[in-house]
Amino acid sequence: MQTIIALAPLVSHRLCLAPPPFPRHRLLCRRAPSIRLPSHRSSTTSFRLLSSFAASRDSEMATEDGQDPRIPKIASSIRVIPDFPKPGIMFHDITTLLLDTEAFKDTIDLFVERYKGKGISVVAGVEARGFIFGPPIALAIGAKFVPMRKPKKLPGKVISEEYSLEYGTDKIEMHVGAVEPGERAIIIDDLIATGGTLSAAVRLLERVGVKIVECACVIELPECKGREKLGETPLFILISSA
Amino acid sequence: MSGNKEEVDPRINGIKTKIRVVPDFPKKGIMFQDITTVLLDPKAFKDTIDLFVERYRDKNISVVAGIEARGFLFGPPIALAIGAKFVPLRKPKKLPGETIFEEYELEYGNDRLEMHVGAVEAGDRALVVDDLIATGGTLCAAINLLERVGAEVVECACVIELPELKVCCREI
């Protein structure tokens, strides 16, 4: 099994050269498989993600060459399942990361080290996988945790923000009064693809006067251009997957 | 732990006062116990996790299973602190790859809880976490799932119990 190590942003464009293997309309994003990916695609058994390193636009990973030494183990613990939830999608499954106690701890530590002491009072997590990473980060940095949920899950008064899906729209909701104007927030999800959900979360928080310091995800699918959708809002990721 | 009247941990009251009760949600007559207000208080949230961690850290627990979605809020911090793996138990069709499921009854009809094949191994000692236990239907399904793959369920742990609703499953 190969591990691809790339120093983002220099190399990331090289991972997008192969044409998509499936008809365009069947893809959530026009995702080209890495040209160095061995053909595990037909199997549904557990296999490893080939990873590249990622950093935010500012390339703020810990070590001099841009790679934190904990990243390869985290990347290799993530499983890619082909054709889920529908044909053509390569689903990045973080549940295998959660089974590796060291990798899970390292994942949280990487975020905590970045955000501790930065005056962040709110960690917002997008349902449901953002609920797995957000609370440990919030607890470690002394921030409150705010769940951002699908419609009708939160009791009491909520505000909502609509966002586009491939076909149709969906909504994300937050409790009224959970956050206050002037608070500094980060938004957590396991993965950013098109950025639809995350940008809706950003809009929702900004509407109530919160400053979004950064969005943070374990995985980015760069071909889906979520980073562009976030516009001015910074994005920090651990792993970029082509 | 908190059930013993002579020895209520002083942190419990602080947590209790943070839980918000929302009447008539999701439908009329239900007094919904909303834990999101606990999460807004870093001290109360930390105390909640600490109480569970103190109870389970020396019990050789290798798996913390959390029930979607509010079990995902409490399970992972506990798992991280006690060095256990975290296993999400999810509604149908959310988990990719091979899964096993357990059906359970709702007031009207049935639902299913799913778990990944291979996430839990025979001999694993498991803790099941959810925010609240009402009838216990979901928790019982979780126990059954874990026991079917040979894990030992050491305990179920919830922030809140609604004792007037009968727990449908045996005492653990």
Beta strands in A149-210 (DSSP E): 158-164, 169-175, 184-192
ipTM reported for the complex, 2 dp = 0.93
Q: How confident is the model at residue A93 (pLDDT cuts 50, 70, 90)?
A: very high
Find where tokens 């797995």 sit. Answer: A132
Q: Which amino acid is at A179?
A: V
Yes or no: say if B107 and B29 are a contact pair by the CB < 8 Å rule.
Answer: no
Task: Give the per-residue pLDDT at B36.
Answer: 98
A156/B22 Cβ within 8 A: yes
Query: Which burial class, exposed, middle or buried, applies to B146 when counting CB atoms under 10 A from its CB (0-12, 13-18, 19+)?
Result: buried
| Cβ atoms within 10 Å, residue A124 | 30
Q: Which residues of A168-203 are buried (b: 16+ CB within 10 A; e: fewer)?
A: eeeebbbbeebbeeebbbbbbbbbbbbbbbbbbbbe
In 3D space, the residue among A210, A111, A27 whose CA is nearest the CA of residue A201 turns out to be A210
Task: Give the per-residue pLDDT at A55.
Answer: 39
Task: Give the per-residue pLDDT at A167.
Answer: 81
Q: Where are the domains of chain B?
A: 10-161
Q: Which helix (H) or strand (E) holds B125?
A: strand B125-133
Task: Give the per-residue pLDDT at B31.
Answer: 92
Task: Give the per-residue pLDDT at A9.
Answer: 32
| pLDDT of A239 over the 60 cut | yes
* C-alpha span between B13 and B5 (Å, rounded): 12
In 3D space, the residue among A188, A179, A184, A182 whose CA is nearest the CA of residue A215 turns out to be A188
pLDDT tens readout for residues A213-226: 999 999 999 999 99
Q: How confident is the model at residue B4 (pLDDT cuts 50, 70, 90)?
A: low
pLDDT tens readout for residues B39-67: 999 999 999 999 999 999 999 999 999 99
The residues of A that are catalytic are: 129, 166
Q: How many helices (H) and strands (E) does chain B have?
A: 5, 8
The structure tokens listed for A89 are 């999608």
Find where tokens 């874990």 sit. Answer: B146
pLDDT tens readout for residues A113-164: 999 999 999 999 999 999 999 999 999 999 999 999 999 999 999 999 999 9
| pLDDT of A22 over the 80 cut | no
> Options 3.40.50.300, 3.40.50.2020, 1.10.10.10, 3.40.640.10; which CATH number does B10-161 get?
3.40.50.2020
More confident residue, B158 or A21: B158
pLDDT tens readout for residues A161-194: 999 987 889 999 999 999 999 999 999 999 999 9
More confident residue, B146 or B135: B146
pLDDT tens readout for residues A50-86: 444 443 333 333 334 578 999 999 999 999 999 998 8
**Which of A79, A93, A175 is opposite residue B36, by nearest beta carbon?**
A175
Cβ-based neighbours of A2, under 8 Å, separated by 6 or more:
A36, A38, A50
Q: Which amino acid is at B42?
A: P
Query: In Å, how far is A84's CA from the nearest CA of chain B?
Result: 6
More confident residue, B136 or A20: B136
Task: Give the per-residue pLDDT at A21.
Answer: 36
According to DSSP, the β-strands at B31-34 and B20-23 are antiparallel
Task: Give the per-residue pLDDT at B3.
Answer: 52
Query: In Å, how far is B110's CA from the nearest CA of chain A?
Result: 19
Q: Which residues of A touch B70 (CB under 8 A)?
A: 131
Yes or no: say if B140 and B110 are a contact pair by the CB < 8 Å rule.
Answer: no
Cβ-based neighbours of B110, under 8 Å, separated by 6 or more:
B103, B104
Task: Give the per-residue pLDDT at A67.
Answer: 84
* C-alpha span between A142 and A157 (Å, rounded): 25
Yes or no: say if A133 and A218 are a contact pair by the CB < 8 Å rule.
Answer: yes
Task: Give the per-residue pLDDT at B107.
Answer: 79
| pLDDT of B38 over the 60 cut | yes
B42/A156 Cβ within 8 A: no
The residues of B that are catalytic are: 70, 107
As a whole number, the mean pLDDT across chain B is 92
**Which of A98, A152, A156 is opposite residue B86, by nearest beta carbon?**
A98
Q: Which residues of A touch B83 (CB under 8 A)?
A: 101
DSSP character string of B18-41: TPEEEET-SSTT-EEEETHHHHTS
Rounded average pLDDT over A4-19: 31
Rounded average pLDDT over B9-38: 95
Task: Give the per-residue pLDDT at B7.
Answer: 81
Calculate the dihedral angle through the C-alpha atoms of A155, A159, A161, A162, rounding to the nearest 10 degrees. Answer: 60
* C-alpha span between A55 and A97 (Å, rounded): 19
CA torsion through residues B23, B92, A41, A98, sign: positive
pLDDT tens readout for residues B97-126: 999 999 999 878 899 999 999 999 999 999
In 3D space, the residue among B151, B155, B77 whose CA is nearest the CA of residue B116 turns out to be B151
Domains of chain A listed by start with CATH number: 118-240 (3.40.50.2020)
* C-alpha span between B149 and B159 (Å, rounded): 26
- The alpha carbon of residue A146 and the mean position of all alpha carbons in its chain are separated, in whole angstroms, by 17
* C-alpha span between A226 and A236 (Å, rounded): 12
| pLDDT of A6 over the 50 cut | no
* Axis crossing angle, helix B71-82 with helix B42-56, rounded to the nearest 10: 50
Query: In Å, how far is A111's CA from the nearest CA of chain B?
Result: 14
Nearest CA in chain A to B69: A128
| Cβ-based contacts under 8 A for chains A and B | 109
